[in-house]
Amino acid sequence: MIELSEGVKQKAFYMAMVGYVATVMVIFFYYFNLNSLFFEIFSGVVSVLLFPIFFIAVLSRNLEPSRVTIARLEAMDIETYLKPISNAFSDKPAWLMLGLSLTLLYSFIFFFYWMAHSGHGVPSMEHGEYFLRNHTVLKAITKEKFDALKRLENMGMASHYLAFYAIAIWLLYKKEYLSKSSVELN
């Protein structure tokens, strides 16, 4: 099993917080159609940072492969079976659980909004012409429609990033990380 130092976990927690705020900014910029080269680079950095942070968050939980057999499950009472799950939520403050819940709800609802308004395809551009594709060309679209669908697609992806950053924050959270004495990173 891989053991991570507290310093690595703490730095990953802060990076997850920064990534969460940056993703909210990305969604804000897409919502108000504020596009620029800087913003495109910023959006890419948010997506690239997500994977190592989430990986560290999962490793920080010290998850071991389960050696539970059917016979042991049948002998186990429900309280014993659910104890690891309840412990994962018991040490978290209400603001964190509310934020996680609202973020996951937003991501879930926006996913269906995205699917309903995407035209059942992905906007693409070839030789200066705009198309809606789903394995093949569905139809030609205008530049305005292309921009709107591309913005919706990017907001949909950012809402997924937001959910994963929120889960990483939840997995990495420790009360000590937000105290004034832990401003200096280990």
Successive 10-residue mean pLDDT values, the chain, 186 residues: 78 91 87 72 81 84 55 61 61 86 94 87 88 83 89 88 92 78 52
Which structural domain range is residue 41 located in? 6-63+80-182
Collect all residues with Cβ–Cβ distance below 8 Å to 171 and sequence separation of at least 6.
Answer: 57, 58, 60, 61
pTM as predicted = 0.77
The edge-to-edge listing of strands for the beta sheet with 122-126 is: 122-126, 129-134, 136-141
Q: What is the CA radius of gyration of the chain?
A: 21
Please, which residues bridge with residue 134 across strands? 136
| 74 in a structural domain | no
| 23 in a structural domain | yes
| 71 in a structural domain | no
Instruction: Tally the domains of the chain.
Output: 1
| 1 in a structural domain | no
CA–CA separation, 43 and 34 (whole Å): 12
